[in-house]
Structure 1
Amino acid sequence: MSAVTDTVRIAAPGNPIGRSIRDSLIVAKRNLIRMSRIPEMVIFGLIQPIMFVVLFTYVFGGSIQVGSSTSTQAYREFLMAGIFAQTVTFATAGAGAGIADDMHKGLIDRFRSLPMARGAVLTGRTIADLVQTSLTLVVLAVVALVVGWRTHENVGKVLAGFCLLLLLGYAFSWIGALIGLSVRTPEAATSGGLIWLFPLTFISNAFVDANQMPSFLRHIAEWNPFSATVQASRELFGNLPPGFQASDAWPMQHPVWASLIWSVVIILVFRTLAVRKYRRAAG
C-alpha cells in the first residue's frame, strides 16, 4: 500500500485530466496485481462459459432452428457470439463484488485519504476488470475454435466484433460498480449483479432466433442492448446462419451502430451515477 501511496502523491500535481488518468492506471495496476495472486478467480470465471459452449453445442445443437437451418455447425456459429457476450457481461458481478469488498474492508476510505482523483478508484477497477475479461475472452475463443467455431470475415471485422463485445463488458462493469457501492456485502453485490443479467441475456437473440419468440418478447429482445451487440458480432464474424432474416427493428438493421450507442450511453449514465455514489459513500 505504501508504494501505491507514494506513487499517487507524486502524480498529484499537474493537469487534472492527466492526473486522473495516471491515478486510474495506478489503481488498475493494483487491482491486476491482486487478481494475479488469486488465479482461481480467472479459472472459475472460465468454467461457466466453457460449460455453456459444450452444453449448448452438443445438447441443443441440431435441435434448434436458426434461419432455415437446424445443422449443428450453423447453430454452433450462431451461438458463439451470444456466449462471448454473456461472458463479458457476467463479469459485472465480479466487478460489483470487488468494489463492495473494498468498501467492506475500509480500503475505499484509505484511498479517500490520498491526493487522487475521486473517480480514479472506480475507473481503475473497471479497467482492471476489462483486462481480465479480455484474457477470459481470448481463452474462450480458443475453446470455441476447438469445438468447431469458425469465422468467415477478414481479421479486421473479427477484431471489431471482439472490440464491441469488450466495450459492452466495460459498460456493464459500471453497472456492477454502482451495485457494489449500493450494497453492504460482497455476497449481496454478487447476487445483485447476476439476478438481472439472466433475463437480460435470455430474453435476447443470444441463444435462439428472436424471430421465433412470442411477439411481446421479440420486441423486448430486439431493443435489448445485449441483442444489438450479439447481432453486430455475428455480422462481423460472418456467423449469420443460412436463410436468416433480421427483423425490421432499427437495432437489428443497424446492429453495429446500435451496439456502440447503447454501450456509450450506459457508460455515461452509470459512470456518472457510480462516481456520485462513491463521493457520497466516501464523504
Structure 2
Amino acid sequence: MSASYAAADCWTMTRRELAHWARQPVQVLVGLVFPVMMLVMFGYLVGGGRAVDGAYVDYLVPGMLTLTMVFGLEATMTAVAQDLNKGVIDRFRSMPMADGAVLVGRASADMLQSAVGLLLMTGVGYAMGWRADGGPGAFLGALGLLLLLRFAMLWIGIFLALVAGRAELVQAVQILVWPLGFLSNAFASPASMPDWLGAVVEWNPMSATATAVRELFGNPGGEPGHVTAAVVWPLLLLAVFFPLAVRKFGRLGK
C-alpha cells in the first residue's frame, strides 16, 4: 500500500474520532476544563510555593501545563478498549486499509485536543498573572516539548489499553497516572522534599520536561541543560512503546 493511501486511511480514522467530539461535546469540555480547575485550585487555594523563588504562579503554570500532558489519557485508552470490545477494530482490520490507521487516527485526534488544551491553559495562566519571558521562539519550543511528552505518554496509554482489552481494566490501569503526575516537580521544588523523595522526583520524565519548559519560559525553577533530557526521555519512551503498541495491534485476533 502506497504512502498516500496510508495517509488517507489515517486521516479517515482521525475524522472518525473528530466526529465523536460533535456527538459527545460534554466529554470534550470536561477534558479541557478539568486541568483549568486544577490550575485555579492550586494557584489560589492550595499553592504556597515551597522552596520556590519568585511568584508561585510563574512556577506553577509550567508545571500544570506539563501535568496536563499526562492527565486525560484515560479517554483515549477507554476509546481503544471500547472499540476492541465492540468488534469495531476487527471490522476495520478486515477492510483494505493501512495497518495501524485506527491507532494513528485516535492518536492524531488526541494530539489535536491536547494542543487546544495547551492554548486554553496558557490563556488562563496569563489571566492569573503568569508571564512567559523567554521570547516567541522559546515559547514555541516549550509547547513543542510539552506535545512531545504527550505523544510519548499517549502511546504508552494505547499499548496498555490494547493489553487490558476491557474498559473496566483500563480504569484500574489509569490510576497509575496519578503517582507519575504528582511525584514530579509540577507543584513544588525537589529541594523542599526529603532527599530520597527528591531523587525520585528528579528522575521522573515529567520533571525533566517541566524544568526545561520553565527555562524556556524564563520562569522560576528552570535550569540550563534540561532541554536535552526533555527530548531524550520521550523519544526513549516512544522507542519502546510505539513498536509494542503496533505489534500488539497486529497480533489482535491471532
Please give the range of the TM-score, normalised by the shorter of the 2 chains: over 0.9
- The alpha carbon displacement at 1:128 in A equals 1.0
Match of 2:50 among 58, 62, 65: 65
- Name the residue aligned to 1:264: 235
- The alpha carbon displacement at 1:48 in A equals 2.1
Aligned partners of 1:238 and 1:120: how far apart in 2?
39
- Name the residue aligned to 1:6: none
Query: Is this contact kept in 1: 2:52–2:59, CA < 8 A?
Result: no
Aligned partners of 1:145 and 1:133: how far apart in 2?
18
Query: Is this contact kept in 2: 1:66–1:75, CA < 8 A?
Result: no
- Of all paired residues, the percent bearing the same amino acid is 38
- The alpha carbon displacement at 1:100 in A equals 0.5
After TM superposition, the structure 1 stretch with the greater mean CA deviation from structure 2, 180-189 or 37-46, is: 180-189
- Name the residue aligned to 1:10: none
- Name the residue aligned to 2:14: 28
Q: State whether structure 2 residue 160 is matched by structure 1 residue 179.
A: yes
Q: Which amino acid aligns with 1:114?
A: M
Structure 2 residues not aligned, in runs of 5+: none
Q: Per the alignment, do residues 68 and 78 of structure 1 end up closer, same or farther by CA in structure 2, a change over 3 Å counting?
A: closer
The structure with the largest alpha-carbon Rg is: 1
Structure 1 stretches (4+) deviating beyond 6 angstroms? none
1:36-55 alignment, distance < 5 Å? 36-55=22-41
1:122-271 alignment, distance < 5 Å? 122-193=103-174, 195-240=175-220, 254-271=225-242
Q: Which amino acid aligns with 1:230?
A: A
| Partner secondary structure for residue 89 of structure 1 | coil
What TM-score, normalized to structure 1? Answer: 0.84
Aligned partners of 1:21 and 1:124: how far apart in 2?
10
Aligned partners of 1:66 and 1:152: how far apart in 2?
21
- The alpha carbon displacement at 1:153 in A equals 1.4
Aligned partners of 1:20 and 1:210: how far apart in 2?
45
- Name the residue aligned to 1:114: 95
Query: Is this contact kept in 1: 2:180–2:204, CA < 8 A?
Result: yes
- The alpha carbon displacement at 1:237 in A equals 0.9
What TM-score, normalized to structure 2? Answer: 0.93
Aligned partners of 1:224 and 1:40: how far apart in 2?
32
Structure 1 residues not aligned, in runs of 5+: 1-12, 247-252
Match of 1:279 among 246, 250, 254: 250
How many residue pairs get aligned? The number is 254
| Partner secondary structure for residue 251 of structure 2 | helix
Cα deviation digits, residues 218-252 of structure 1 (max 9, x gap): 111112111111111111111125xx7x5xxxxxx
- The alpha carbon displacement at 1:185 in A equals 2.4
- Name the residue aligned to 2:68: 87
Query: Is this contact kept in 2: 1:66–1:78, CA < 8 A?
Result: no
- The alpha carbon displacement at 1:111 in A equals 0.7
Aligned partners of 2:171 and 2:63: how far apart in 1?
22
